[in-house]
Amino acid sequence: MAQTILQIKNLHKHFGKLEVLKGIDLDVRQGEVVVVIGPSGSGKSTLLRCINYLEVPTRGRILFKGEDVGHHEVNGRMVPLPERALDKQRAHMGMVFQRFNLFPHMTALQNVVEAPIQVKGLDRAKAEALGQKLLARVGLSDKAHQYPAFLSGGQQQRVAIARALAMEPDVMLFDEPTSALDPELVGEVLQVMKDLAKEGMTMVVVTHEMGFAREVGHRVLFMDGGVVVEEATPAEIFTAPKHPRTREFLAKVL
Amino acid sequence: MSEFLQHSQRILPVLLEGMGMTLFLTAVSGLLGTVLGALTALARIARNKVLVVVASGYVTLFRGTPLLLQILFFWGVMGQVLPKAPGYVFVIFALALNAGAYIAEIIRAAIQSIDKGQMEAARSVGMSYGMAMRRIVFPQTFRRLLPPMVNEAAALTKETSLAMAVGVLEMMKYSQQFVSRTGNIASTYIWTAAGYLIVTVALTSLATHLEKKLEARG
């Protein structure tokens, strides 16, 4: 059995009085593709954003390769860990955002090579060779010197994936990567993600794309109201969902 | 009409001399104000509460009181400490502090107008807060800063005229002296207005041009 790379233990998140996550437990193994589905407001995006600490959890633990992310508990109290440690951990977790968040003042290639050069200290020539290779991998070799404003949404999201891959992450986190795209552009992004999964990338994907979940996911989590309601293989959850809320949700979206 | 032209011939060299000091006051206090404003803007968005309070206090004080009062205050108070320094030094001090307060707000607004997702994307690839600010957020603010900063320079140009209150020989003071010497109120002030307009119109059209150019780049 493959090694566990990501562990989430009893994760809670409050926004003021609103409790968005009510105790999430999740283990992700190396090479696994975990797909998180559920209605909006179910807490699935917040869960993903807590994993790399863009959202600070209220309680609970996140372990990345066995090490606490962001804080650790001392006598039941949350004690923040140094930012520098967090920066290092984030460098090994790729994140893809719903709205791409490409750096608009940089070309596609500059977006991809920025972190390898600035964070890892890779020399420019090596970084650009890597950047070109990654842009080729997402099918955008010819767009290397274009600014994001001149790329379609699907192209921007593929550059964003290349940017995340450039740090050679151990896990990729996808936060509704196709939700902001025109329908005809969804396919090209999903294809890149499918290829990544085939190559053995560990992935946690929050999505409304049930086809992707069914085809690519090793495990599907259905979240609702801040808890994981049901967790199963795609075959199980899509053909014989056990929980009535899962059935209700799937009946609406399928 | 010929009388007007005659007067004009005599006024223009006088105004030109004042224009030098006007541009000098604008440039020096503008540069100092920009440095001060940038530091203040960073302090206002810092995590350190003391910095935030000090910076906010400064901005409130200098935006909430008349510039003329500030000039008179620094000229009077600092003039006692440094009696040999020329008056324009204190005026520059007051103008820079005043401009710095306004520029701080311009810069802060520009930084905060950058989509939060930019910082998140930068942090998600392992950049520190400082690096993300330097490499990702600041470069995007420069483009948004240019037009309001040029407008601020135009405003500052006009504000230097308050230096006449403490006897600094800039364009307004020369103009006023010329009026009391010759009695040519209308033509003198019309030419003085033209002198300021040349500078401010040049600056604002530069701002408009930059705005259009930056828009085109998307």
218 residues of chain B, pLDDT tens digit each: 678 788 888 899 999 999 999 999 999 999 999 999 999 999 999 889 999 999 999 999 999 999 999 999 999 999 999 999 999 999 999 999 999 999 999 999 999 999 999 999 999 999 999 999 999 999 999 878 988 999 999 999 999 999 999 999 999 999 999 999 999 899 899 999 999 999 999 998 888 887 787 766 54
Residue owning tokens 């003085």: B192
Yes or no, beta carbons of A54 and B139 under 8 Å apart? no
Query: Distance between CA atoms of B72 and B68, rounded to whole angstroms?
Result: 6
User: Which residue is closest to A99 within chain B, CA to CA?
Assistant: B117
Task: Give dist(CA B148, CA B144) in Å, integer.
Answer: 8
pLDDT in tens, B110-161: 999 999 999 999 999 999 999 999 999 999 998 789 889 999 999 999 999 9
Task: Provide the percentage of residues in chain A whose pLDDT is more than 90.
Answer: 95
* Residue from B115, B118, B124, B135 to probe the interface with A (highest A Cβ count within 10 Å): B124
Q: Does residue A221 sit in helix, strand or coil?
A: strand
pLDDT at A2: 81
Residue B168, beta-bridge partner list: none
Please name the member of B118, B120, B143 whose beta carbon is closest to the beta carbon of A54.
B120
Query: Tokens 């936060």 correspond to what residue?
Result: A175
What residues in A contact B127, CB-CB < 8 Å?
87, 115, 118-119
Is residue A76 a contact partner of residue A61, using CB atoms and an 8 Å limit? Answer: no
Assign A254 a pLDDT band (cuts: 50, 70, 90). Answer: confident
Half-sphere exposure of B183 (CA within 13 A, CB side): 0
Classify burial at B26, counting beta carbons within 10 Å of its beta carbon; exposed 0-12, middle 13-18, buried 19 or more.
buried
Tell whether B146 is within 8 A of chain A (Cβ): no
How much is the pLDDT for B201? 95
Q: Which residues of A touch B124 (CB under 8 A)?
A: 52, 54, 90, 93-95, 164
Q: What is the pLDDT of residues A130-179, one digit of tens each?
A: 999 999 999 999 999 999 999 999 999 999 999 999 999 999 999 999 99
Percent of chain B with pLDDT over 70: 98
Could you tell me which chain A residue has the CA closest to the CA of B125?
A91
pLDDT band at A77 (very low <50, low <70, confident <90, very high): confident
Interface test with A, best of B116, B120, B125, B135 (most A CBs within 10 A): B125
pTM: 0.85
Q: What is the pLDDT of residue B216?
A: 61
Look at B126 and A149 and tell me if their CB atoms are within 8 Å: no
Residue B46 to residue B130: CA distance in whole angstroms: 11
How big is the A-B interface in CB pairs under 8 Å?
71
Position A92 pLDDT exceeds 80: yes
